[in-house]
Amino acid sequence: MQFGNENGVLTARHRGEMLRIEAWGKDSLRVRATQLPAFTDRDWALTEEAGTWQAEVVIGWEECRREDGEKDRKVFASITNGRIKAVVNAGGVITFYRDGKKFLQEYFRNYDGTLCRQSRCLKIVNREWKAVIGGSEYSLNVKFESNDGEKLFGMGQYQQSYMDLKGCVLELAQRNSQISVPFLVSSLGYGMLWNNPAVGQVMFGKNYTEWTARCTRQMDYWLTVADAPKQILENYTAVTGRAPHFPEDRMGLWQCKLRYRTQEEVLSIARKYQEEGIRIDQIVIDFFHWTVQGDWKFDKKYWPDPKAMVDELHSMGIKVIVSVWPSVDRRSENFQPMLDRGLLMRTERGELQTYDFQGDCVEIDVFNPETREYVWEVCKKNYYDLGIDAFWLDNSEPDLGVYDFDHYRYMEGPAMSCSNMYPQLYSRVFYDNMKALGEEYVVNLLRCAWAGSQKYGNVVWSGDVPSTFEAFFDQVQAGLNMGLAGIPWWTTDIGGFMTDDVEDPDFHQLLIRWYEFAVYSAVLRMHGDRGPHNIPRLDERDWGGGYLFTGHDNELWSYGEENYRIMKKYYDIRISMHNYIRDLYEEASRNGSPLIRTMFYEFPEDEICWELQDQYMFGDRYLVAPIFHLNEFEREVYLPAGRWKDTRDGKEYQGGGRIRAAAPIDSIPVFERM
């Protein structure tokens, strides 16, 4: 092992591998390695200036005992940046320390005469590189020792009931309702970013942790240490970026359904809300308002004067957001020009098709800057110049006909090597250009994200999830972990997306429970496909804005008088919290804190709070206990130490224990921290 000190950067060479460890932010280190002649220039999620941090590099010798029992001296090196320290031994195995206490170590089980520890005959190495045949990339497997009793959180959004990810196997890939944001927060006081957009997997096993990138040119991860999760997230967002300021005129109700099919439908709903005295901040025009995918324009048969529509909505104080998909139908007027100019995804073999919903489509290549400009120019002309305020960037993973990632290629390289970053670059088609035109607030809605997406004005929602209580519980776990992965603007389809029977009273109960939760989340947004699909089509053509199915009504008044009463009641609660919600958004911009928070985020010293999955904090003041079961009208709530007040009746409680709280259909337990 050859160690070097390059102006406070620890370098090493060993058996063809180059290793580089450097200070990168407060109490943080960036670790890279490659088998190639040089490192790439990609910083991926680490986009912010890390500042100047003076790291101390030491290269020395340690005494140890060989396998034959004889004493020996072996070289080692260390680098220290504030409270974090990395030590690399003679075989290249890295151990990390926080304030002198080990918190993470690479896993090595191989016999090697140069090593004094962890010698085994298993031939398992800490960093395993295997060449991708015929290419310059490698598959990479990095292993770490597992820590007994450790809890792990973050990593984005996975459709499962586990908030603590210890013991979980997670695919590092983007899918509809699955969002890979590879940053974790550990109960041992550290955070780790797997700074690699390659498709892969992470296994948080009991015996070891294993990160895999199936196609990459280098290893790249970042570690930080702090006393509590809030400081870990502050360190992380300092180097990956923080959410911008959120406009106050979009902190209320967003109205959406599948789908408003005509200009008059949209206006009639907006007028009805105005008559009812309920302000909606934004109304959403969903998919297939267009001609075919990739035309990115209104179908004039059903939207004859979109500018007049937008002007009327603006006069009511309502912002307008339209759906834009990254798929381009072969029938689109943009397909051939984009194909000829190389602006579309490519397939590695066979036919050029990547998406097959309602057309033979190919997705755009957002890694190509020319693609991003082309799409923006079309959308600017057909939407933005008409006064459209924001864009719903649906299918932003992108959604693929088959998730065979090894079948696709971008300008950046094989999809296997970079596709997790697709949703971030897709969002920048709009964010970068809208900011360049002087937009003060850019807020777009996306179905996916990656590390650092928070800085590009992304409200991320949890995708097309079922309308079940089980899915509702899973979304809360997903939202809490998204917040810990640095994505504070997160929301769901109230009531879930996929409803079979809009008249089912059990669904109505789910809808109300979900709505009550959503009031205490970042964005209050009505959406969903309300079945059955028995509404006649407007048009018999197999294309255009009138032929596709739509869902049943999904406005606050659509579910009967009693449910309308409850939703209006909670709408008023939302509006009453406006200043508080504004402050939470400002805090997210200031230090990266999410709006919905795990209990341990606010109470890290309380061991019980590290176990709780069925309640959360909305900011630092409100403890929210949703109802996750049908016909459940009371539940147990844990109140941490301190004074708490039930927001419904004003009754005060001394914390430090559990209570039984009533939960009639028209309210959920919410306690205010005194």
Catalytic, 464? Answer yes
Q: Given 171, 464, 504, 606, which residue is catalytic?
A: 464
Beta bridge partners of 88: 77, 94
397 is catalytic: yes
Q: 579 burial class (0-12, 13-18, 19+ CB within 10 angstroms)? A: exposed
Give Cβ neighbours of residue 438 (< 8 Å, ≥ 6 apart). none
First to last CA, the chain: 58
Pairing label, strands 200-204, 169-172: antiparallel
Residue 29 in contact with residue 4, Cβ under 8 Å? no
Identify whether the C-beta of residue 20 lies closer than 8 Å to the C-beta of residue 55. no
Task: Tell me if 319 sits within 8 A of 250, measured CB to CB.
Answer: yes
8 Å CB contact between 276 and 557: yes
Q: How many CB atoms lie within 10 A of CB 349?
A: 6
Q: How many CA atoms lie within 13 A of 121 on its CB side?
A: 1
In order, the DSSP letters of 66-81 are: -TTS-EEEEEEEEEEE
What is the distance between the alpha carbons of residues 509 and 630, in angstroms, rounded to a whole number? 7
* Cβ proximity of 650 and 671 under 8 Å: no
Largest CA distance in the chain: 88
49 part of the active site? no
> Of 397, 399, 474, 602, which residue is the catalytic one?
397
- Sequence-separated (6 or more) residues with CB below 8 Å from residue 463: 157, 176, 177, 178, 179, 447, 448, 497
Note whether 427 and 459 are within 8 A (CB).
no
The answer to whether residues 254 and 523 touch, using CB atoms and an 8 Å cutoff, is yes
344: alpha, beta or left? (left if phi > 0; alpha if psi -120 to 50): beta
- Sequence-distant (≥ 6) Cβ neighbours of residue 191 within 8 angstroms: 154, 183, 184, 185, 223, 224, 225, 226, 232, 233, 235, 236
Q: Kindly tell me the burial class for residue 648, based on how many C-beta atoms sit within 10 Å of its own C-beta (0-12, 13-18, 19 or more).
A: middle
**Considering 394, 516, 555, 646, which one is annotated as catalytic?**
394
CA atoms of 269 and 272, how far apart (whole Å): 5
Strand spans (E) along 205-299: 208-216, 219-225, 253-255, 280-285
Token pair recorded at residue 167: 């013991």
Amino acid at residue number 141: N
User: Helices then strands (H, E): number in the chain?
Assistant: 12, 41
- Our CA angle for 270, 274, 275, nearest 5°, is 115
User: Cα–Cα distance between 121 and 110 in angstroms, integer?
Assistant: 5
Q: Residue 511, SS3? A: helix
**Which residues are the active-site residues?**
394, 397, 464
